[in-house]
Amino acid sequence: MLNRRAVKNLLGELPLTAEVYWQLFQGGRPVTRSFSLRRTKKRLPEWCAQAQQALAHNQRDESASKRALIFATLRYWIEHAALLSVALAGSGHEVTLGYLPYPSFDRPLTQFDLRRNNAYARSVLKPAAPLVETFSLLDTRRSPAQPLPPELAQAVREVSLRDTQYTLQIEQVETENPRSPSGRLFQLRQKRNRQAASALLAWYQALPPERRPQVLLTPNGSILELGAVFQTARYLGLPAVTYEFGEQRGRIWLARGSEVMLQETDDLWRTRSSQPLTEAQWEQIRSLYDSRQNGRLWENFARLWQGLPSQGGAQARAELGLDQRPIVLLAANVIGDSLTLGRQVFSRDMTEWLQRSVQFFAARPDVQLIVRIHPGERYLKGPSVAEVVKAGLPELPDHIHLIEASAPVNTYDLVEIAALGLVYTTTVGMEMAMSGVPAVVGGRTHYRAKGFTLDPSTWEEYFGQIERLLASPADHRLEGRQVELAWNYAYRFFFDYPCPFPWHLLDFWTELEEWPVARVLSSEGRQAFGATFEYLVGEPRPDSQPVEAL
């Protein structure tokens, strides 16, 4: 006897069954609460009307118009992409919005329910025409007999692996074992990502050359179907811009031709590193750093970095029972975090880097090692760094101290008493350098090789640099030019790298009250955000405006 899922899968393969069912029995309503676009349905006509009015009043150089394809999946990204599509169309660009109507990225969905979601999304987005052309990748199919090109298939597999690592917060995945949780999830992600890549490939190749998009925009670009689509664009030679949102309201991260989560700042640093900070800029970065140290929110930042204010290094030393032997601070990332996956330089992954580092110091009782687990672990479900450390060294000697994520210890107090820092990709490494502490960087992070950290490329270099620094810790404190470089870079990363943008993903429904589409497309809005919108369609990176201008 067929169960309900089997029946749905069967019906999902029959033409029009899902669409007719949705139309007759749901009458325009969402299929599930997890894929409800009610607010978009309500506001989309208003956004389009404002964009049309802006097009009628603003003079636009037709030669500057771009054919842009925006891709999104999941409810929140589709809603945000719909708003962005309208704004870009209102700026004079020819915009197509492609989407996949998945309500979640880690749970299977029957073909019947997926097609009902598809019918619902199509009806919600229909009022965007003729301003924005919309289409679902579900409606674009390649023949199953046409496999992905090998190069693209390998790139999609890597995205699927990263999806699994990130979702489960693990680094080792049993890709060939469908009975394991990681194997099951990997196969689900592999199937969906391949379908997305195949569909975009078919859609693009079916277009006449003069109608093909000139640029692809997609959130993130590292994970999920977003990553699969980005990799497909790269395979096709289609210029791509990826974007994400960090902890700052009113700002957006942008990357052209690369995954935005790589946070590539090389070009920015190349042009800004020789520019000394002004007094106002020094005041701004010092104020932000003080807030990070003391667990306070700062202006448009929405995250607390510490659970308690700084208590001072002396108190931290006393509470942890530390003596006068040199202190090495290993500041860990969260296992499986998006800022660690695929960032290995000489280690297999962060797990190996952690375990080999701790094992090295187990044989160095002349030094005290503090492993500071990232406070963010408290809010996540994956394995703890503590488990990883103990798996590599079951019995911790007395001179190795493991500071749990929830421990009432301020990380900056540990920086104050450290002679040396070890980091994978955490921003703490940059902040160590700002405090004069030499930091050895084990992973590929945005501040690596910027002139104020030690950046080994092999295990031999890594341990050799540690040995050299520990031979005479006092002689290797950073001073002068290197410390100044670290502060300069920190300013550029926090204030120049993010671009002004009116609608943060987490708050855009609220921010629309202050920055409706009409205001964003007005002369005031173009002055504030125009350069960012142009970068979104592939123009050179704009000069960032200071935060206070927003």
Q: What is residue 545's three-state secondary structure?
A: coil
Which residues, including other chains, have CB under 8 Å from residue 208's CB and lie 6 or more apart? Answer: none
What pLDDT is recorded for position 191? 95
The percent of residues in the chain predicted with pLDDT above 90, rounded, is 74
Question: Per DSSP, what are the bridge partners of residue 217?
Answer: 70, 241
Q: Which of 209-218, 380-389, 414-423, 481-490 has the lowest mean pLDDT?
A: 380-389
Average pLDDT over residues 209-214: 96
Q: Is the pLDDT of residue 549 over 50?
A: no
What pLDDT is recorded for position 1? 43
* Average model confidence (pLDDT) across the chain: 90
Please state whether beta strands 368-372 and 400-403 pair in parallel, antiparallel, or not at all (unpaired).
Answer: parallel
Q: Is the pLDDT of residue 96 over 90?
A: yes
Instruction: Give the integer Cα–Cα distance in Å for 503 and 10.
Output: 41
Output 406 or 445, whichever has higher pLDDT: 445
DSSP per-residue string spanning 248-304? BTTEEEEEESS-GGG---HHHHHHHTTSPPPHHHHHHHHHHHHHHHTT---TTB---
pTM for the predicted model, two decimal places: 0.90
What pLDDT is recorded for position 215? 97
Q: Is the pLDDT of residue 308 over 80?
A: no
What pLDDT is recorded for position 536? 95
Q: Is the pLDDT of residue 69 over 80?
A: yes
Q: Which domains does the chain have, with CATH numbers?
A: 10-263+502-540 (no CATH), 272-496 (3.40.50.2000)
Q: Which of 17-21, 113-117, 236-240, 472-476 has the lowest mean pLDDT?
A: 17-21
Token pair listed for 148 = 């992905």
What's phi and psi for 269, nearest 5 deg?
-70, -35
Token pair listed for 308 = 């308690």
- 3-class SS letters over 81-150: HHHHHHHHHHCCCEEEEEEECCCCCCCCCCHHHHHHHHHHHHHHHHHHCCCEEEEEHHHCCCCCCCCCCH
Hunting for tokens 């040995």 — which residue is that? 467
Q: Is the pLDDT of residue 304 over 50?
A: no
Band of pLDDT at residue 448, cut at 50, 70 and 90: very high
Token pair listed for 453 = 């950290």
Tens of pLDDT, residue by residue over 334-393, are: 888 888 899 999 999 999 999 999 999 999 999 999 999 988 787 777 778 889 999 999
Q: Is the pLDDT of residue 36 over 50?
A: yes
CB atoms within 10 A of CB 387: 11
Instruction: Give the integer Cα–Cα distance in Å for 205 and 202.
Output: 5
Residues 533 and 88 sit within 8 Å (Cβ to Cβ):
yes
Band of pLDDT at residue 2, cut at 50, 70 and 90: low
The percent of residues in the chain predicted with pLDDT above 70, rounded, is 91
Average pLDDT over residues 40-49: 97
What pLDDT is recorded for position 406? 82
Q: Which of 294-303, 337-346, 525-534 has the lowest mean pLDDT?
A: 294-303
Residues 368 and 328 sit within 8 Å (Cβ to Cβ):
yes
Instruction: Give the integer Cα–Cα distance in Å for 398 and 361.
Output: 11
Q: Is the pLDDT of residue 301 over 90?
A: no
Output 300 or 421, whichever has higher pLDDT: 421
Radius of gyration of the chain (CA): 25
Residues 134 and 122 sit within 8 Å (Cβ to Cβ):
yes
Q: CA of 363: how far to CAs of 300, 367, 391, 441, 474, in Å?
A: 45, 9, 17, 21, 22
Please state whether beta strands 251-256 and 240-244 pair in parallel, antiparallel, or not at all (unpaired).
Answer: antiparallel
What pLDDT is recorded for position 140? 85
Residue 303 C-alpha from the chain's centroid? 15
Residues 378 and 277 sit within 8 Å (Cβ to Cβ):
no
What pLDDT is recorded for position 146? 78
